[in-house]
Structure 1
Amino acid sequence: MTVSLPSRVDVLIIGGGIVGCSIAYHLTKLGITDVLLLERKQLTCGTTWHAAGLIGQLRATRRMTELAKYTSELLHKLEAETGQATGFKQNGSISLALNAERFEELKRGASMAKNFGLEVEVIGPAEIKAKYPLLDLTDVIGGVFLPKDGQANPIDTTQAFAKGAKNRGARILEGIKVERILVEQGRAVGVMTAEGPVRAGTVVLAAGMWSRALAATIGVSVPLHAAEHFYIVTEPLADVPRDLPVLRVTDECTYYKEDAGKLLVGAFEPVAKPWGMDGIPEDFCFDSLPEDVDHFEPILEKATARLPILATAGIQTFFNGPESFTPDDRYLLGETAEVRDLFVACGFNSIGIQSSGGAGKVLAEWIRDRRMPVDLTDVDVRRLHPFQSTKAYLRDRTTESLGLLYAMHWPYRQYDTARGARRSPFHDRLVAHGAVMGETAGWERPNWYAPEDVPREYRYSYGRQNWFEHAAAECRAVRDAVGLFDQSSFAKFLVEGPDACAVLNRVAVSDVDVPEGRIVYTQWCNEQGGIEADLTITRLAETRFLVVTGAAVQTRDLAWLRRHVPEEARCTVVDITSGLPMLGLMGPNSRPLLTKLTGEDLGNAAFPFGASRELEIGYARVRASRITYVGELGWELYVPAEMALHVFERIEEAGREFGLVHAGYHAMNSLRMEKGYRHWGHDIGPEDDPIEAGLAFTVAWAKKGGFIGRDALLRKKEAGTPTRRLVQIRLLDDAKLLYHEEPVWIGDRIVGSITSGMYGHRIGASLGMGYLQHEGGVTADWLAGQTLEVEVAWERVPARAQLQAWYDPRNERIRA
């Protein structure tokens, strides 16, 4: 049958799963009704139809929790609005702990849930038995109950979203395969189908496990891979209560759901089975994959012991179906870095049903406003890098990422798979010195250094891990002598041309029109004043600048900068990260060491803080920038890649005289925490502004031409003392450690939360940063008069807070 396609629409959505239909529904709720959704076969036929339909609300971050919570709230109303049943019931969920470590994880999560406004209870075995009488609780020590969690029917919910969208004017067509996305001058302008082209102002790729291949045809990276996901459904059981909560026994990799008197038992096993490496069959539609009883049998054995009723239950269905997973188990949302007007919503890592409402809502708003409606950096597609979309990388990582959903979420946990993708020139030398590598954005980076008699491995816990004292020694060496950090992973962009200064001055809040050889620490803000990037800009020459930012935000910051270069500007932006390794030489002995290497005068008068110039080390010309992220006198050394090892060897040889010690990123995190140095993505982000973040000193309010976000920041400045402010927090019990999202209490009120935490070895205290709220203004005097507590794993710990850094607040050491 020939289908009549429109020649043009405002928004075209590719994919008729629950997320695609939710996006259509939410677009029409915003009044964007010229929407066309194209599904290659039938709605839900890829992954949605066989999803378990669990509706959990607590996620790892505040924003992800809010999106899941919104889905739950929406499902209450959706059936009444559309007349289409969703099968939603709010029967709650229980997570069990079989050991003390898991119970600590659950209690930390429960405290975080309280911080997010969720109802949550920490419960013991007797309460668990009362709520779930079928359980064998022999080795259960406790659990967490969330009464507002539940479950829904994925197919019915998708149909409800589709009906709601169609009721407001959207068109949803099945049996229309999108063959390719049309791109003109760097923008998505529509799609080509077997029935012809359709032009569109916005294209949304929500095609699930087909998304990666479709995006790759136009040079867009969408890193996801399908994996086999197993569950069984029993025959009806007379003794199964109909109001059982959803049950998760993550120590056994299992989840359980009652459905119409049957039990569904599914798993996220430690070693998964990637699927679809050679492409997905053309006729794939409501298909299941071959059974693999041997693979699932260990899971089923534990499940039978946990729920003895399963031992005599008949199995009605043994199911194996594909689901999409991403390298970091977070889904992909937003406008792509490579092609404008192309948005993605895919890679939902088995939480697509519970995320569908929230993801659809915020993506619809993002499309309407062409900016993030809230801080979505956790799931922003620009957080990932092109190499992570290669088939080999995705295949290897997917074997691990599926199981990580239920593995212990240890602090500082490192991936085991898909390692070694990016290595600095110093990698092998550092390993020889005892480096224990971690991974960030694919970079192998030394997190800590093990002495010769210490195993080079992580032993995880929520307390002091096995590297704690070794990182402490590195911190003390940086304080007392000199430490060498491999910072090659930092992203570097060369911005050049007659208009380079004007472009950067428009993007940055600071004035970058400084003399040659000066470094400017600055932020890039959005129109609302939120911080989109936190970085340094060095003026190399009149028309040439070096931008240095973090490894994890390389793709994102590069895309932001390029999209803010006007078409008519005489300005080029080139990513030179790979060609310019960087070493950090930090500590009081960095000056005499560097003086010996270069023969130059490096005193304050000749080389002040914030200066940058070229020096000679051995046969190489090296750019030395006097700046620090650790709060000590020091220099960052930028070295041409081909001469990097030569310079490294000269530094090591000369460094023996000055007590040179190799230091890793755990030490760097500790050192920056003591100094109150912010970390973008944790302490600052798109919903935080420089005033609230205590960074107003970077803002050039009166610079000619202004900057993006100036008007919004001026309004905040004129409003007076901020009622929300980033503060420095110190626990009075240094045995407790902070990580993120721990609630901060004053009396019976939660007044804020921790954004990042680390132990400070120079001052001997457990530290954190976090935003506090006070309607009368967050000031030093107000903080001094408060009795604060931070909730750690369901226990309140006394704390102090102040605005200034705990270590060297006057910056005397870095300016020494």
Structure 2
Amino acid sequence: MVDLPNKARAVIIGGGVSGCSVAYHLAKAGWTDIILLERKQLTSGTTWHAAGLIGQLRASQNMTRLAKYSADLYVRLEEETGVATGIRQTGSISVALTEHRLEELRRQATLARAFDVDVAEISPSEIKAMYPHLNVGDVLGGVHLPLDGQCDPANIAMALAKGARMRGARIVEGVKVTRVTDDGTSVTGVDWETAEGRGHIAADVVINCGGMWGRDLAAQSGVTLPLHACEHFYLLTEPVEGLGRLPVLRVPDECAYYKEDAGKMMLGAFEPKAKPWGMTGISEDFCFDSLPEDFDHFQPILEHAMNRMPLFQTAGIHTFFNGPESFTPDDRYYLGEAPEKRGYWIAAGYNSIGIVSSGGAGMALAHWITEGAPPFDLWEVDIRRAQPFQRNRRYLKERVTETLGLLYADHYPYRQVETARGVRRSPLHGHLAERGAVFGEVAGWERANWFARPVQEREYRYDWGRQNWFDNQRAEHMAVREGVGLFDMTSFGKIRVEGPGALAFLQRLCANQMDVPPGRIVYTQMLNARGGIESDLTVTRLSETAFLLVVPGATLQRDLAWLRRHLGDDFAVVTDVTAAESVLCLMGPKSRDLLARVSPDDMGNDAHPFGTAREIEIGMGLARAHRVSYVGELGWELYVSSDQTAHVFEALEDAGADMGLTLCGLHTLDSCRIEKAYRHWGHDITDEDHVLEAGLGFAVRTGKGDFIGRDAVLRKRESGLSRRMVQFLLKDPDPMLFHNEALVRDGQIVSIVTSANYGHTLGGAVGMAYVPCAGESAEDVLASSYEIEVAGRRFAATPSLVPLYDPMGERMKA
């Protein structure tokens, strides 16, 4: 019988490349009392049949940092452990067959330059010279990343495992974890079994690296881990004479990638409609297994390949492989501590990029576990973005039919998922649909993004320029600026914090002053010890002992977790009340006049000043009217109980019919807020961004007493800013900005655009970006010449440290 300890500092579940990387990095951090348990054999789930592509450029700076770390680590591992990793920097080429794809590749090249990734844009003739087997007759261009490459995935995992053992970690095969145990709030260890017996290992830290088994294991503990296996196909030819050493090739317009492998050619597919697998569970004896062939499913990819690379017309097929891999609802993997259970950590759901991701992910997770905070902003892959409903298996099965193919789809701005929709809807969903709403989805919420005219099609026509709803957005935007607009913002996350200790608790967590009279609304941030922004929110004091926190819908689970983890001995209760109330945002210079038609209450400045909330009568119902604005105009957020929402909406609509009341979508909310330089959490501000450098020092009150992050604020005030958040307006009214464009200062790329939209009032695209400025004054920052690079073209931009629209905020307080 296997001899396992009764106790360990950490237990890692799963012996794929992810689990081995976590073990390696925890051991490297000095944790020697750790054990990895693998149900069968190392790499026997997904790792062994991975393609092993090493692409350094990802969609954001921090994901690129993790991928580059992986590539560097795998080069070093062979020398460190003596295990050959098969790492070869053959480079990679991505080619475009359409103008839209070429635009995307050029934008990616700009991003690579901003992230200091070696990149070159190459012509069809240059592609042919580098890849002589390729038919480039219809190729428009491409990008070449010379330091990308390929590796042997199974040996990477074995090298990581050996490196972990060398540092004292224990790795045991043939042991299945049957349950993660807990005491209701925190993990206490794992139950395990083998053919010879069962046992328990006590531990305060458990890391679920279970891949496609991870979801069901997590569900036993009430932990949400939304992933689902899909069938993933590739074909390997017989040896091809004279093939030579070739870069990895991606032809996303044909859903295919190609890799030269020991004189053979591999063809892999990311087909538009994938095949979910494992709906009834995974066999107990699954180990190095493949799935049944489905040549009909793969045939369209192969037919394209026979034209793209004629050698496929004559080369024999050595292997046609079908194996399962895990995919998530948004094509991003999961990392971090589960909000439901303290000490329950996750690294899973890699969406076919597990090899290039796992090295960096293991490093980041080990740092997070051992240091108490991630090494940098990891919100893109944070497990706290997962919504509880997403563990639903029917939802996951439907969604992953799409997400696998989205890896190679055009990554247009504003692209919406099409599957598994309609799960979370506001009480006004039907009303808005009848009036032309075109919906998008965030955190499962259906939200009106824009409103189509009666004769206009109600769907997106995606483009890298102005999309088909651009004029709709302009009309909505100008209605908010000049008249009155109505937004359904029911998707806001709403959290009640109440009890005798509520004030003390929030004073400790929030940077602004929470001890305000009932009815006051406070804009604030919750900071971490580094002064980074964990949450950007408003707090309304409802009574002496009750507060309402309003957060973005996408961050609700994260914010709830942050609050609950810091509750301590405070006598306060944290409750999610999101579904209890709808939110109607009535915004614009005519909003007060419209409210006067539906409410007998005085909405004037004396009776209802900016930054206050109170209950009002509206129609024949009641609402709590919060006088705040995310669009920079006079307006109110109306919090209405769900049962009265439709009535209040209809009352406003009827009363505003002759005033030009305009229904507005989320795209307009964003274009209005960008003109006001309002920050958006997750793009402009994250847990990595210091509150002072983000330009939000006005919401910090260090004089109120101690709070999380106060020392970091004081240190930054003493040392000075190393960068500043700046707003930019393109001087040319034609180009579009979305985010991730390169910011050019005095001819040099210095940063990237964190968020952007079109400023219809300002007359051009507007973006936010951090400008490095160590030792410089505000005047020095503004004195430079700025451009923003869009797909290789540079456009002059005007910088501003105050909002370019209504800098004094007079319109909101009118």
TM-score, normalised on structure 1? 0.99
1:387-786 mapped onto 2 (5 Å cutoff): 387-566=389-568, 568-704=569-705, 706-720=706-720, 722-777=721-776, 779=778, 781-786=779-784
Counterpart amino acid of residue 124 in structure 2: P
Q: Deviations over 1:523-578 (max 9, x none)?
A: 00011110000000000000010000001001111111111111x32110110100
1:778 deviates by: 5.2
CA positional deviation for 1:783: 3.3
Paired position in structure 2 for 1:54? 53
Amino acid at match of 1:731: L
Question: 1:275 & 1:790 partners in 2: Cα distance?
Answer: 44
- Residue 231 of structure 1: aligned partner: 234
Q: Matched residue of 1:738: which SS?
A: coil
* Equivalent in the alignment of 1:331: 333
Secondary structure at the counterpart of residue 9 of structure 1: coil
1:732 CA drift (Å): 1.4
- Deviations 1:667-704, CA, capped at 9 Å, x for gaps: 11000000000000000001101100100000011103
Mapped to 1, the partners of 2:393 and 2:595 lie a distance apart of 44
Task: Give the distance between the partners of 1:777 and 1:755, measured in 2 at CA.
Answer: 21
Residue aligned with 2:799, SS: strand
AA paired with 1:103?
Answer: L
- Equivalent residue, structure 2, for 1:361: 363
Describe how 1:117-156 pairs up with structure 2 within 5 A.
117-156=116-155
Aligned-pair CA distance for 1:774: 2.1
Q: Which moved more, 1:672-681 or 1:787-796?
A: 787-796
Q: Could you tell me whether the CA contact under 8 Å between 1:772 and 1:778 is conserved in 2?
A: no
Poorly superposed stretches of 4+, deviation over 6 Å: none
Question: 1:739, CA displacement in angstroms?
Answer: 1.5
> Partner letter of residue 709 of structure 2?
G
Q: Do the aligned residues in 2 keep the contact of 1:530 with 1:687 (CA within 8 Å)? A: yes
Q: What is the root-mean-square deviation of aligned Cα atoms in Å?
A: 0.8
CA distance in 2, matches of 1:343, 1:360: 12
Q: Shift of residue 775 of structure 1?
A: 2.5
Listed one character per residue, the Cα deviations across residues 410-457 of structure 1 (whole Å, up to 9, x for unaligned) are 000000001000000000000111101111111111000011011101
Offset of residue 603 of structure 1: 1.2
For residue 764 of structure 2, what is the amino acid of its counterpart? Answer: A
Task: Please name the residue that 1:791 is paired with.
Answer: 789
**How do residues 14-25 of structure 1 correspond to structure 2 at under 5 angstroms?**
14-25=13-24
Q: Distance in 2 between matches of 1:563 and 1:193?
A: 28
Q: 1:206 corresponds to which letter in structure 2? A: C
Which residue type is aligned with residue 112 of structure 1?
Answer: L
**Whole-Å Cα distance in 2 between the matches of residues 763 and 791 of structure 1?**
20
Q: Is the 8 A contact 1:230 1:266 kept in 2?
A: yes
Amino acid at match of 2:782: A
Q: Which amino acid aligns with 1:355?
A: S
What SS does structure 1 have at the residue aligned with 2:542? strand
Alignment partner of 2:381: what SS? Answer: coil
Q: Secondary structure in 1 aligned to 2:336?
A: strand
Separation in structure 2 between the aligned mates of residue 476 and residue 451 of structure 1, nearest angstrom: 16
Aligned counterparts, 1:377-396, within 5 A: 377-396=379-398
2:178 is aligned to: 179
Distance 2:731 2:72 in 1: 39
Q: Distance in 1 between matches of 2:596 and 2:506?
A: 33
Match for 2:392: what amino acid? T
Are 1:249 and 2:251 an aligned pair?
Answer: yes
* Structure 2 match to 1:158: 157
User: Residue 809 of structure 1: which of 788, 798, 807 is its match?
Assistant: 807
Distance 1:614 1:413 in 2: 39
- Residues of 2 paired with 1:550 and 1:316: CA distance? 51
Q: Distance in 1 between matches of 2:776 and 2:280?
A: 59
- Using the alignment, how far apart are the partners of 2:575 and 2:27 within structure 1? 40
Question: 5 Å matches for 1:61-210?
Answer: 61-194=60-193, 195-210=198-213
Alpha-carbon distance between aligned partners in 2 of 1:735 and 1:659, rounded to the nearest angstrom = 29
Q: Deviations over 1:317-351 (max 9, x none)?
A: 00000000000000000000100101000000000
Which deviates more from structure 2 when the two are superposed, residues 711-720 or residues 252-261? 711-720
1:142 Cα deviation from its structure 2 partner: 0.2
Partners of 1:747 and 1:136 lie apart in 2 by 41
Counterpart check, 1:262 vs 2:260: no
Give, in angstroms, the shift of residue 723 of structure 1: 2.5
How far residue 751 of structure 1 moved from its aligned partner, in angstroms, is 2.0
Deviations 1:3-52 (A, max 9, x none): 01001111110000001001111111111111100000000000000000
1-structure distance, mates of 2:496, 2:622: 18
TM-score between both structures, scaled by the size of structure 2 = 0.99
In the alignment, structure 1 residue 12 sits paired with structure 2 residue 11: yes
Give the SS at the match of 1:639.
strand
Cα distance, 1:511 vs structure 2: 0.7
The answer as to whether partners of 2:399 and 2:419 remain within 8 angstroms in 1 is: yes
What amino acid does structure 2 have at the position aligned with 1:244? L
Distance in 2 (CA, whole Å) between partners of 1:632 and 1:790 is 28
| Partner AA of 1:626 in structure 2 | R
Match 1:212 to one of 211, 215, 234: 215
Distance 2:227 2:732 in 1: 43
What's the CA shift for 1:597?
1.2
**How many Å separate the matches in 2 of 1:351 and 1:167?**
27
| C-alpha contact 1:136 1:305 (8 A) present in aligned 2 | yes
1:605-663 CA-partner distances (Å, limit 9, x unpaired): 11110010000112322100000000100000000111111111111111113221100
- The 8 Å contact of residues 506 and 708 in structure 1, kept in 2 or not, is answered as yes
Q: How many angstroms apart in 1 are the aligned matches of 2:15 and 2:571?
A: 43
SS at structure 1 position matched to 2:698: helix
Q: Which runs of 5+ in 2 are unaligned?
A: none
Give the corresponding residue for 1:349: 351
* Alignment partner, residue 300 of structure 2: 298
